[in-house]
Chain A
Amino acid sequence: QVQMVQSGAEVKKPGAVVKVSCKTSGYTFIEYGVTWVRQVPGQGLEWMGWISAENGDTKYAQSLQGRLTLTTDSSSNTAYMELRGLKSEDTAVYYCGRGGWVALEFWGQGTLVTVSS
């Protein structure tokens, strides 16, 4: 069965960098992209970006351009989300999901990133 298991919660200071991993199993990794979505506590879902696991093509939300980098490692079937220049408003639960321009049927469990001085 398809599984997406994310790394654990992080606490970071403003201005720092966070890198969240999403280890996948149960499907052929390079056949699907990975989408990242975040959710500020108590608020809605925000689409962050997408990466093709086949060729590394990416598309980022305009609001995160320049601070967000998505990567994959096909040797370990893992996707990564790196966000730089953290601000308090980046405090959120970050989710990975399987697919790009498709509805997201499979999701990771979420990773809480807290940005606090």
Chain B
Amino acid sequence: EIVLTQSPATLSLSPGERATLSCRASQSVSSSYLAWYQQKPGQAPRLLIFVASSRATGVPDRFRGSGSGTDFTLTISRLEPEDFAVYYCQQYGKSPVFGPGTRIDLK
């Protein structure tokens, strides 16, 4: 079973700053079946990125996914106030699994 590790656990940033979130897999993720989700308190997760780099419908272009194999990155180019949330990566291949999450906090 693939294990996903996300780093850092918490990122303290200010609006307008760039956020770089990492997701590392214990084995290669087949066909780049890697997604990123945003979750705010009391809400269901929201899909941001699928197949590592494709933005879901309605997701602003400040969100960018990249990577392949075992190393993936979510970059938020300039943080907006609504971007402070928890972000999860997920591999949805053979045995789907989520990473533990990265929280982006207001500095």
**A-side interface residues toward B, CB under 8 Å?**
35, 37, 44-47, 50, 59, 61-62, 95, 101-105, 107-110
Range of interface residues on B (Cβ < 8 Å): 20 to 34
| Residue numbers in B under 8 Å from A50 (CB-CB) | 96
| Inter-subunit contact A105/B56 (CB<8 Å) | yes
Q: Tell me which of B17-25, B76-84, B86-94 binds A.
A: B86-94
Residues of A within 8 A of B47 (CB): 103-105
13 contacts between A and B (CB under 8 A): A37-B45, A37-B98, A44-B88, A44-B101, A45-B88, A47-B97, A59-B95, A62-B1, A104-B35, A104-B90, A105-B47, A105-B57, A109-B44
Query: B-side binding surface: helix, strand, loop or mixed?
Result: loop
A12 CB to nearest chain B CB (Å)? 22
Interface: B100 (CB within 8 A): yes
Q: Whole-angstrom distance from the CB of A41 to the nearest CB of chain B?
A: 11
- Does B33 count as interface, using CB distance less than 8 angstroms? yes
Contact of A103 among B39, B56, B101 (CB under 8 A): B56
Q: What is the minimal beta-carbon distance from A79 to any residue of chain B, in angstroms?
A: 15
CA distance A113 to B33 in the complex (A): 30
- Contact partners of B99 in chain A: CB under 8 A: 44
In the assembled complex, which residues on chain A have CB atoms less than 8 Å from the CB atom of B44? 95, 107-110
Interface residues of B in 16-63 (CB under 8 A from A): 33, 35, 37, 39, 44-47, 49-51, 56-57
B contact residues vs A (CB 8 Å cutoff): 1, 33, 35, 37, 39, 44-47, 49-51, 56-57, 88, 90, 92-93, 95-101
List, in ascending order, chain A residues with CB within 8 A of B56's CB: 103, 105
Of A46, A50, A105, A108, the most chain B CB neighbours within 10 A belong to A105
Indicate if the CB atoms of A103 and B45 lie closer than 8 Å.
Answer: no
By the criterion CB–CB under 8 Å, are A103 and B92 in contact? yes
Whole-angstrom CA separation of A50 from B92 in the bound complex? 11
**In the complex, what residue of chain A is closest to B6 when comparing beta carbons?**
A44
CA distance A63 to B5 in the complex (A): 19
